[in-house]
Structure 1
Amino acid sequence: MSPSRPVQVIAVTGGKGGVGKSNISVNLGIALAEMRRRVVLMDADLGLANIDVLLGLKADKNLSDVLSGQCSLNDIMVTGPAGIKVVPASSGMQQMASLGPQEHGALINAFSELDNQLDVLIVDTAAGITDTVVSFVRAAQEVLVVVCDEPSSITDAYALIKLLNTEYDLFRFRVVANMTRTAQEGQQLYNKLNMVCERFLDVSLQYVGNVPFDENVRKSVQRQKALLEYAPSCKAAQAIRGIAEKVDQWPLPRAARGHLEFFVERLLQTANAGY
């Protein structure tokens, strides 16, 4: 058997609700799948799972069924547009800190089964700066922070970056400006966040791009279709495809960090450390 190709694990986060993070996660995943990348999208919003709702998918089982040994990870994944696979959110993940060694092993084995079946794992985190959000973000290799033009969005994004930098030594963050009126507005949003981060933190921020405000986004949500499926040539869809092309150029993790076991082990370590 050929050695596993390193898997890119990307956490999409925002520090607050309402910034369009889940829409970015879903459509970025679809755009990468259109580029022939094998994509798994993990809904990590344990309180308000919404990926299946956004895509009009019906999930009968979730991760807690895998942990209880009732089925494999392959059994619970549902197929979305462009062939992306969705791991439905599970309230069982909230008990990560109290999992026994057997359940730890089950979770790691469940993900390692997928090693040769995917290129990118996108983790759509919950809103806010909860312990669970921090766990998922710390376990990922790339952190994509979504911001929009609201004072609280910049404030909360900064608070999340500050916590991850000062408490957990994360220093590299990618930034997407969402729902912008102009490309210039997106750049200004990034500049604002970068200025305060440079002043007070030891971090490296990289601007990935902006997604313009587009009425098609709201319409696609109402119809429970992904934007790239509902209005594939609209401005927001084109912008997301441009971002996907940049994401596809990000360096792959070194083999030692590149297996899904690393992601899950790190996730369990952070859970058991209280985060």
Structure 2
Amino acid sequence: MNDQAERLRERIKALRTQAKSIAIMSGKGGVGKSNFSLNFSLALKKLNKRVLLFDLDIGMGNIDILIGESSRYSIVDFFENQQSLTDIITTGPCGLDYISGGTGLGTIFSLNEEKFQRFIDELGLLFKAYDFVIFDMGAGISEDSLRFLLSVDEIIIITTPEPTSMTDAYSAIKSICVNHETMQFLIVVNRAFHHDVGHSTFDRLSTTMTQFLKRNPTLLGIIPDDSTIMKAVINQNPFLLYQPNSQASKAIVRISKEYVNRQELNNFVQEPTPFILKLKHFFMKGR
């Protein structure tokens, strides 16, 4: 048993908190979703928040690549090798805890009931040890990922000013709205070559959502089209750590502070039905 896992188990025993569940998604791939998930998680960590980043882009996960480290374990080891969730957590830069997506596993919802129940039970315990559990979802939306998305407390949508990115983001949001009447959507516009472009991108998406879906999304922030991001990716170092004073890094810091302030101002209260119970409901519903 490794020391990290033992320390986490002790923390779980001592705490009675309930983490907020956040899904980070995009309508299409290649918009910087995983890069945002990683740097956003690091920024929250720097604000002294307890964060678990869970790579749910199973088989295509790239958190390890962005960090420049190779995890000893992944979610595959939990299901196939009987490791516990605490055992497969890797501690990355700045003490950020994350679970790698790994390869060789289909979807969590294709598992038999026994394996899924074990997953639910252990994940429920982890929710007592963190302030935020952030799920980096695969690009797009499928029947299986929709169940996960319908269970979380809040969804952050990553889009870019490109028309195809906005269209795909809207389609994904529409799929969720059809099945969830109160889901909150926060929008992050990535790769905006000018601040005004970021705002106009959000305005177009917001107007469409208001008109056709009767939803009013919130603009969480705008990340500029900063060459630092690509340099950081090439160097396999999160851009927040690679160049803390870059425009992209300043933007992610503003976004993380805005997010935390938003929670405190709204005095966030967990929904009556916790994430774990909702996830179990949707799993059983899909059997």
TM-score (norm. length: structure 2)? 0.87
Aligned equivalent of 1:168: 180
Higher relative contact order (CA 8 A, sep 6+): 1
Q: Which of 94, 99, 102 does residue 107 from structure 2 map onto?
A: 94
Cα drift, residue 68 of structure 1: 4.6
Distance in 2 of aligned mates of 1:234 and 1:139: 35
| C-alpha spacing 1:93/1:245, structure 2 compared with 1 (3 Å) | farther
Q: Which of 251, 256, 261 does residue 239 from structure 1 map onto?
A: 251
Q: What are the superposed Cα offsets for residues 130-189 of structure 1, whole Å, 9 maximum, x if unpaired?
A: 223322221211100111011111111111111111233344211011111121111100
Aligned AA for 2:107?
Q
Cα drift, residue 70 of structure 1: 2.2
Cα drift, residue 118 of structure 1: 1.1
| C-alpha spacing 1:25/1:256, structure 2 compared with 1 (3 Å) | same
Distance in 1 of aligned mates of 2:272 and 2:81: 28
Aligned equivalent of 1:181: 193
Aligned equivalent of 1:17: 29
Aligned AA for 1:47?
G
Partner of 1:113: helix, strand, or coil?
helix
Aligned equivalent of 2:153: 141
Are 1:106 and 2:118 counterparts?
yes
Q: What are the superposed Cα offsets for residues 82-130 of structure 1, whole Å, 9 maximum, x if unpaired?
A: 1111111155461424422x32331122113323321111111111122
| Cα pair 2:17 2:129 within 8 Å, conserved | no
Aligned equivalent of 1:211: 223
Distance in 2 of aligned mates of 1:124 and 1:25: 6
| C-alpha spacing 1:99/1:266, structure 2 compared with 1 (3 Å) | farther
Aligned AA for 2:194?
T
Cα drift, residue 9 of structure 1: 1.0
Q: Which of 259, 268, 273 does residue 252 from structure 1 map onto?
A: 268
Aligned AA for 1:252?
F
Are 1:227 and 2:243 counterparts?
no
| Cα pair 1:164 1:170 within 8 Å, conserved | no
| Cα pair 2:22 2:156 within 8 Å, conserved | yes
Q: What are the superposed Cα offsets for residues 4-46 of structure 1, whole Å, 9 maximum, x if unpaired?
A: 2231111111111111111110000000000110111010112
Aligned AA for 1:230?
Y
Partner of 2:150: helix, strand, or coil?
helix
Distance in 1 of aligned mates of 2:132 and 2:62: 20
Aligned equivalent of 1:51: 63
Aligned equivalent of 2:3: none
Q: Which of 116, 124, 127 does residue 128 from structure 2 map onto?
A: 116
Distance in 1 of aligned mates of 2:89 and 2:127: 15
Cα drift, residue 57 of structure 1: 1.9
Distance in 2 of aligned mates of 1:30 and 1:171: 25
| C-alpha spacing 1:56/1:106, structure 2 compared with 1 (3 Å) | same
Distance in 1 of aligned mates of 2:32 and 2:246: 17
Are 1:153 and 2:165 counterparts?
yes
Partner of 1:224: helix, strand, or coil?
coil
| Greater mean deviation of Cα atoms: 3-12 or 49-58 | 3-12
Identity of aligned residues (%): 29
Aligned AA for 2:164?
S
Distance in 2 of aligned mates of 1:227 and 1:4: 34
Q: Which of 241, 256, 281 does residue 269 from structure 1 map onto?
A: 281
Note the aligned Cα RMSD (angstroms). 2.1
The answer for unaligned runs of 5 or more in structure 2 is 1-12
The answer for unaligned runs of 5 or more in structure 1 is none
Distance in 2 of aligned mates of 1:65 and 1:186: 40
Q: What are the superposed Cα offsets for residues 201-242 of structure 1, whole Å, 9 maximum, x if unpaired?
A: 121211111001111100111111111111111000000000
| Greater mean deviation of Cα atoms: 236-245 or 165-174 | 165-174
Are 1:127 and 2:139 counterparts?
yes
| Cα pair 1:52 1:59 within 8 Å, conserved | yes
